[in-house]
Amino acid sequence: MSSVLEEKMRGGRMKNHKVVCVLFVFLGLLLIVSSVEAQKVLFKSNFTDLRENWEVVDDPDAERSPGKWRFGLADFSYIRNRDQTIATALLGGEKDWSNYTVETSLHMASPQGYLIGIICGYQDPEHFYVIGYNFYQRRFEFVAHTSEGFELLDSNKVDFPDGVEIPLRLDYAGARVLLSANGRLIFDMIDGRYRSGRFGLGASGLQGSKILIGPVTVKSLDSAVLPPMEIQDLLVLRKGAEVVSKTEESAFKALIDRILYLDKEENREGSDLSINVERNPFPIEGIFAFPQEKTVEIHSIGLRLGSRYFPKEIEFLVSEQSPESNFQSLGTFQIEPEKDSYQEFTLDHIKAKYLKVRLLSPSVPTDRYVSIDEMFVKGYRVGSGPEVGASAAPASGELSHPEVSTNGKSGMIPTRMRKRASGGSFFPNFRTYILSSITQRLFL
């Protein structure tokens, strides 16, 4: 009897094992199908199909119209418009397209031209986004076109390497739009005015320059697989922040002069604040304007100290009204005199357009100088923060700081700053290009 029972139990276990195996196989197939679906190619072009799959659309106010995007031909139009922003565009896809990824590349053969880049959310000639590189301003720009003209939503000043192909990836996920260049996150914006629309390529004012655009691939995008929005470094010169006070202006600029490279693994923090306190005694203050003087939400302010000349007390004040008045104090903070330390002060999601920094006293009364290496103001632009419940990650390519605990007073216990390896790899893969310029032709 017992042997019969054992045989039945073994048979039952084998059946259960078969059921489990079948279930795992089924789940695996579901994951594969989901992955394939998430990566479905919607559009692919190496520009041999200009007549079939692309439409040329020009700004009706542009001079020297029409634009002549042609495969293997010359373009003598010099098309440009009053704003020097996207006078001519190649469009693909449909007006109801949403949640897609556009992959292409830019190669600068000569440093001329206004905004060159990717169009998304295109509804009509007055309503669309364009995200790309302005070769005259030497910066990436995120621009929305409305019925009132072009609106600059964000910018990021980065030198574009000469003679290097830079891969571009644009993730267009409804209200959220991300642009990466050579693996470096350039923009992560939530705007929401154009949640669907055609995609394309745009150019303006090339005037003899040679800007090469690589083949285009458009894939469907599951917005749920996008990483959480990263907490942003809000106060950086290259992103449009300014020092609006005149006293020791260059010294305060040194606090926010971080540099981003597209073709190198490392970032550079620039110079450091150093002020002669005999010539300019305490308190010493500087006033900063956030990019485009738009409202931000501050979560923390961090300071990186050097090897000597530490401040002892610092006060932060904010204003949403004016750089001259209506500042509200966030408190006085104590700085620990620890060499090469990073000290961060947590704030309660403070909204501001302007930030005033007041250095109140030195750590050593006899010091002739006061010095700070860098200042990091972390948070989000109002309207561009993460969805409720989403976690924030360190900014790509920026400094990653360990958590610090409060000392129960106004300051924070310092910890040594660590750097996180910045992303981005370079893939030199010259392929077929389209060239929109005075000598537009195919390059192999």
Mind giving me the DSSP string for 177-204? EEEEETTEEEEEEE--S--S-EEEEEE-
**Whole-number pLDDT of residue 360:** 98
Q: Residue 412 — pLDDT band, cuts 50, 70, 90?
A: very low
Q: Residue 382 — pLDDT band, cuts 50, 70, 90?
A: confident
The neighbour count for residue 53, using CB atoms within 10 Å, is 16
Mean pLDDT across the chain: 78
For the domain made up of 232-392, give the CATH fold: Jelly Rolls (2.60.120)
Q: Residue with structure tokens 């469009």?
A: 91
Gap between the Cα atoms of 22 and 20, Å rounded: 5
Beta bridge partners of 129: 120, 144
For the domain made up of 41-227+429-435, give the CATH fold: Jelly Rolls (2.60.120)
Listed range (65-69, 75-79, 215-219, 404-408) with the worst mean pLDDT: 404-408
Q: Which residues contact 444 (CB under 8 A, 6 or more apart)?
A: 432
Angle formed at CA 144 by CA 138 and CA 148, multiple of 5 degrees: 115
Gap between the Cα atoms of 234 and 298, Å rounded: 8
Mind giving me the DSSP string for 249-262? HHHHHGGG--B--S
Is the confidence at residue 258, as pLDDT, over 60?
Answer: yes
User: Which among 279, 285, 273 is positioned nearest to 310, based on CA atoms?
Assistant: 273
Angstrom CA distances, 428 to 31, 183, 307, stand at: 32, 13, 41
Ranges of each domain in the chain: 41-227+429-435, 232-392
Beta bridge partners of 179: 170, 187
Are 41-227+429-435 and 232-392 equal in CATH topology?
Answer: yes
Query: pTM of the prediction?
Result: 0.75
Listed range (23-27, 126-130, 363-367) with the worst mean pLDDT: 23-27
User: Helix H segments across 249-357?
Assistant: 249-253
Q: Convert the pLDDT of each residue in 48-86 to its tens digit.
A: 787 788 888 888 888 766 776 654 322 335 566 666 566
Gap between the Cα atoms of 407 and 386, Å rounded: 29
Give 241-245's long-range contacts (Cβ < 8 A, gap of 24+).
Answer: 241/288, 241/289, 241/290, 241/291, 242/288, 242/289, 243/286, 243/287, 243/288, 243/289, 244/287, 244/288, 244/289, 244/323, 244/354, 245/285, 245/286, 245/287, 245/323
